[in-house]
Structure 1
C-alpha cells in the first residue's frame, strides 16, 4: 500500500523537487547578482522569486493534501478488508465476541495472527 502510494505520487514529487532546485538556483543567482542590479531590476527579480516561491508552496501543500487524502482512503479500505476477514474468522471459529482493545485477554483467543496471515495471502489489495 505504501509502495503503491509512493509510485502514484512519484511524478508529482519529482516535479516539486525540480521546482525547489530551480527556486534555490534562482535565489542564489539573485544574491550573486544583487550588487550589480539596478533598483528596478532588483525589485522585479525579488518579486518574481517571491511569486515562484508562493506557487511552489501552494503546489507542495496541494500535493500533501492529496497524499493525505489517498492515505486515508487506503487506510479505510484496509480497515474494511480487515474487518471482513475478522468477521469471517469469527464466524468460522464460532467466536461470540471480538474486541479491538482489551485490558487483558488470553492469548489463545487472539485472532490477530490469523487475520494477518489471511490478509497477507490476499495481498492486502
Structure 2
C-alpha cells in the first residue's frame, strides 16, 4: 500500500512538472521601459519641445526678476552704510517685497510647468499603451510588464514600442 501511495506521488509530481513545462513554453512575456519611452520616443521629445516653447518666456521673466533682485540686494549692501535709518528701512521693505514677488512667481511657474508636464507625459503614456496593446495582440503576448526588478533582455520590447510610437500618426 505504501509503495502504491509513493508511486502516485511520483506520478503526480511528473505530471505537474510536465504540465508546468508545457504551459511555460506557451506563455509569452514582454517588458517595456516607460522611462526609455519618455526619454527616447519622438512623441516625448515633441512634448518636451512644446513645454520649452510654452514656458520659455515665463522662465526668462523669472530669470530677469531674479537678476533684478540680486542687483538690488547688492546695491543695498553697498549703499547701506551711507543711508539714513528711514531710507534703509524703506529699501529693506522694497527688497522684501521684490523677494516675495520673485518667490511667488517662481512657485507658480514651477507648479504650472509640473502640471503641463504631467499632462503631456500622460498623453505620451496613453499613446504608448495603445501601441503596447497592438503589439501584444499582433504578436500574441500573454503578459507585458512595465516595471520589474529584473528582466532578461530577450523579453524587452521597448524598442518595438518606441518604433511603433514614432511611426504612429
TM class by shorter chain equals 0.7 to 0.9
Cα distance, 1:40 vs structure 2: 0.4
Q: How far 1:90 moved relative to its partner?
A: 1.2
Of 87-96 and 60-69, more deviation after overlay is shown by 87-96
User: Residues 54 and 97 of structure 1: is their aligned pair in 2 closer, same or farther, counting only changes over 3 Å?
Assistant: same
Alignment of structure 1 residues 10-29 onto 2, 5 Å: 10-29=56-75
| 2:50 aligned with 1:50 | no
The structural deviation recorded for 1:5 is: 1.1
- Counterparts in 2 of 1:91-102, with a 5 A limit? 91-102=137-148
In structure 1, runs of 5+ residues without a counterpart are none
Residue by residue over 1:71-105, the C-alpha shift from the partner in whole angstroms, topping out at 9 and shown as x without a partner, is 11112111111100001111122222222234445
Aligned partners of 1:105, 1:30: CA distance in 2, in Å?
62
Equivalent position SS for 1:98: strand
Note the residue ranges of structure 2 that are not aligned, 5 or more in a row: 1-46
Q: 1:59 aligns with which of 95, 101, 105?
A: 105
How many residue pairs get matched?
122
The corresponding residue for 1:121 is: 167
1:24 positional shift = 1.0
What's the TM-score, normalizing by structure 1?
A: 0.87
Q: Does 1:7 align with 2:53?
A: yes
User: What is the CA RMSD across the aligned residues, in angstroms?
Assistant: 1.7
Asked if residue 82 in structure 1 is aligned to residue 82 in structure 2, the reply is: no
Task: Tell me the TM-score normalised to structure 2 length.
Answer: 0.66
Given candidates 110, 115, 125, the residue that maps to 2:156 is 110
SS of residue in 2 equivalent to 1:101: coil
CA distance in structure 2 between the aligned counterparts of 1:35 and 1:26, rounded to whole angstroms: 15
